[in-house]
Structure 1
C-alpha cells in the first residue's frame, strides 16, 4: 500500500513534469546531470586518494632505502598515481641536468657527479621541487569545481523550477482557486525542491570530507618536499668547511697542529660523542632530518671545533 505522502509526491512530480519543456523539464534534466557528475567525481576522487596514499607509501619506502638521491631516477623508478613520485622526478630531472652540464645522458644511465652543485643550482632544484608539489596538488584538487557547482547550483535550479510551477498553477486556475486545485502544483514545487536538496547534500558532505583528506595529503607532501630538498642538498651540494663540520664531525687543522694530532683528538672525542655523530651522519642516508636534541648537537659541534 502506497503511503499518502508518497502518492502525493508522485502526483506532484508527475504534474511538474507535465509542464513546458522550459524551464521545468530543463531544470529536472539539469539536476539529474549535476547529480550524475557529482557522484562520478566523488567515486573517482575517493579511489584516486586511496591509490595515491598507497603509492606514496610504497615510493617513500623506496626513497628511504636509497643510498644516493638520484638512484631512483637513474633506475627509472616511478610510482603510478603517486604525488611524491611526481615531486621527486621534477627535482631529480633538474639535478641531473645540472650535473651533466646540459649534455646528453651517459650510456649506462648513471650520473657521474656528486657533491658538486653550487648554491644557485640547488635553489633551482628546490624551485623544481616546488613546481612538482604544485603539479601534484593540482591533480589532488581536480574535480572539486564540479562538486562546488552541484551544491551551489542545485538549490537555485530547484527554486527556479518550484517557483515556475507555482506561477503557472496560479495563472491557469485564476481567482477562484482553492487548495484542492492547487495541491498538485504545490506538491510538484516541493518535489522539485526536495530533488534539488537530494542532489546538493552528497556534494556538500563529499566536499568537506575530500577537502579534509586532500589537506592532509598536501601536508604530508609538503613535509616530503622539505626532507627531499635537504637530502639532495646534503648529497649533491658542494660541501663547505662549515657544512662538513656540522654534518660529518670532521675538524679542520688549526695552525701549529698536524693532521695526525687533529685526527687523534677527533677520534677520542668521537668515542665520547659517538652516538650523536652517528645520528648526524645518518642524515646522509635518509631524506628526513634526524631528531637530535639541539643541546646535544651543539655540544658535539663545539667539541670538534675546540
Structure 2
C-alpha cells in the first residue's frame, strides 16, 4: 500500500463537507432548531422503549393472572386486597368487581341480584376506562413529536434559506459558492426533522396498535368476568332454593 496516497485520501475525506460542517454553516435559528430536534429525538426514543416495556409487562401480568384465575372455583370469595394493583389490570378489575358486589347486602332474591350486578358492571366500566387511560398514556406526547418534527425542520429550512438570500442581497456580487453554504446549513434542519419523525411514526403506530389490542382484551375480560360472577350467583341461588325445598 502506498502510504502517501492513503494519507492524501484521508486528508481529502476530512476536508469534505459533513453534517458538522452543515451545522456550523447554519444560522442561529437553524442551530437552535437542530438542538431542539435532537432533544425531541431522545425523548421520542425514551417514550417508545419505555412504553413497549410497560405494555409487555402489563400483558405478561394479565396472562399470568388469567391462568391463575382459571384454577379458582369461585370469584366472590377472592380477597386480593392491596396485592391487586401489583398483579396487573386484570387483578384490579376482579378486586373492584368483587368489592362492588359485596357493597350491597340485600336479600338473596332476583331483585338483589340485579342490583348487585348493576354495581358490578358499573365498577367494571370504570375500571376499564381507568386502565385504558394508562395503556394510552404518553401516546399524545409521542404523536405530537411525530406531527411537529417535520414542520419544525421545515421552519428551520425556510428561515435559513431566507437568511441566506437576504445576506446575498447585501453583497456586490452573488455567486453559487457564496449561496451554497447557507442553503446546505438550512436544509440540515429538514433532514433532522425527518430523522426524528420517521422512526417515531413507525413506533407510534406499533405502540398504538398494541394499546388498542390490550384495551380490547381488557374489555373482553371484563365482560367474561361479569358473566362468571352472575353465573356463580345464579348457581348459589338455585342451590339455596333446592336446600329449602328439601
Give the shorter-chain TM-score range.
Answer: 0.7 to 0.9
Q: Which runs of 5+ in 2 are unaligned?
A: 1-9
The answer to whether structure 1 residue 123 and structure 2 residue 118 are counterparts is yes
Task: Between 152-161 and 70-79, report the one with greater CA deviation.
Answer: 70-79
Say whether 1:136 aligns with 2:131. Answer: yes
Specify the alignment match of 2:174 in structure 1: 177
Equivalent residue in structure 1 for 2:152, among 152, 157, 168: 157
The answer to whether 1:34 aligns with 2:40 is: yes
Structure 1 residue 4, shift from structure 2 partner: 8.8
Query: Whole-Å Cα distance in 2 between the matches of residues 154 and 168 of structure 1?
Result: 21
The structure with more radius of gyration: 1
Give the number of the structure with larger relative contact order, counting CA–CA contacts within 8 Å between residues 6 or more apart: 2
**Distance (whole Å) between structure 1 residues aligned to residue 232 and residue 206 of structure 2:** 39
2:149–2:194 CA contact under 8 A, matched in 1: yes
After TM superposition, the structure 1 = structure 2 runs for residues 225-304 of structure 1, keeping only pairs within 5 Å, are: 225-236=222-233
Two-structure CA RMSD over aligned residues (Å)? 3.0
Q: CA 1:74–1:44 in 2, change beyond 3 Å: closer, same or farther? A: closer
TM-score (norm. length: structure 2) = 0.82
Work out whether residues 47 and 142 of structure 2, in 8 Å CA contact, stay in contact via their aligned partners in 1.
yes
Counterpart for residue 108 of structure 1: none
The 8 Å contact of residues 37 and 146 in structure 1, kept in 2 or not, is answered as no
1:90–1:131 CA contact under 8 A, matched in 2: no
Displacement after TM superposition at 1:199 (Å):
0.7
Change (3 A) 1:68 1:81: closer
Q: Name stretches of at least 5 consecutive residues in structure 1 with no aligned partner.
A: 102-112, 252-258, 261-306
Rate the CA distance shift 1:96–1:223 in 2: closer, same or farther, 3 A.
same
Contact kept, 8 Å, 2:161 with 2:186, in 1: the verdict is: yes
Query: 1: CA distance between counterparts of 2:91 and 2:44?
Result: 28
Name the structure with the higher helix share: 2
Instruction: Give the C-alpha shift of residue 120 in structure 1.
Output: 2.2
Give the 3-state SS of the residue equivalent to 1:73 in structure 2. Answer: coil
Inter-partner Cα distance in structure 1 for 2:14 and 2:72: 69
Following the alignment from structure 1 to structure 2, what is the Cα–Cα distance between the partners of residues 32 and 81? 37
Q: Is the 8 A contact 1:69 1:232 kept in 2?
A: yes
Secondary structure at the residue paired with 2:157?
A: helix
Cα deviation for residue 93 of structure 1 reads: 2.0
d(CA) in 2 for partners of 1:28, 1:46: 27
Matching residue of 1:25: 31
> Equivalences for 1:38-77 in 2 at 5 Å?
38-74=44-80, 77=83
Q: Once superposed, which parts of structure 1, at least 4 consecutive aligned residues long, lie more than 6 Å away?
A: 113-116
Measure the CA separation in 1 of the matches of 2:179 and 2:157: 13
Kindly indicate whether the alpha-carbon contact (under 8 Å) linking 2:30 and 2:186 is maintained by their aligned counterparts in 1: no
Aligned-partner Cα distance in 2 for 1:221–1:6: 56
- Bigger Cα displacement from structure 2, 136-145 vs 180-189: 180-189
Indicate the residue corresponding to 1:186 in structure 2.
183
Instruction: Please say if residues 56 and 79 of structure 1, whose CA atoms lie closer than 8 Å, have aligned partners that are also in contact.
Output: no
Find the aligned partners of 1:95 and 1:5 in 2 and give their Cα distance. Answer: 76
Post-superposition offset of 1:74: 5.0
Matching residue of 1:11: 21
- How many Å apart are 1:96 and its aligned residue? 2.5
